[in-house]
Amino acid sequence: MNTKRMDDFIKTVTNGLKDDTELRLDVTQEIKSHIEDTVEQLKSEGKTDEEALEVTLKSFGLSEVIGEDLLKANKKRMKLRSLIKLFLRFAVVPEIGR
């Protein structure tokens, strides 16, 4: 299978999540797993690796549109996670010089 093509697709789809590395990794893994499962299903139906990947990626739709939808769906979550990280940075780090 053309993993570069799949990786490029996933990178484009998750680009809007780049400010939250953990979330981006989670979403990347989920999308990759879904693509691999679908490709394997299509291969079991007689398609070649490339045909299966082509059909799978087309079934997702335009990567830019999916990326926008992912960002919209996770924007509040990203803001909340960012605020929690900021709070924890100041709350957990002991004061120096006490």
Q: How confident is the model at residue 19 (pLDDT cuts 50, 70, 90)?
A: confident
Which segment of 5-9, 12-16, 76-80, 89-93 scores lowest on mean pLDDT?
A: 89-93
**What pTM, to 2 d.p., does this model score?**
0.74
CB 66 within 8 A of CB 9: no
Mean of pLDDT values over 39-61: 95
Please give the Cα distance from 24 to 71 (Å, whole number).
10
Query: How would residue 93 be classed by pLDDT, with cut points 50, 70 and 90?
Result: low
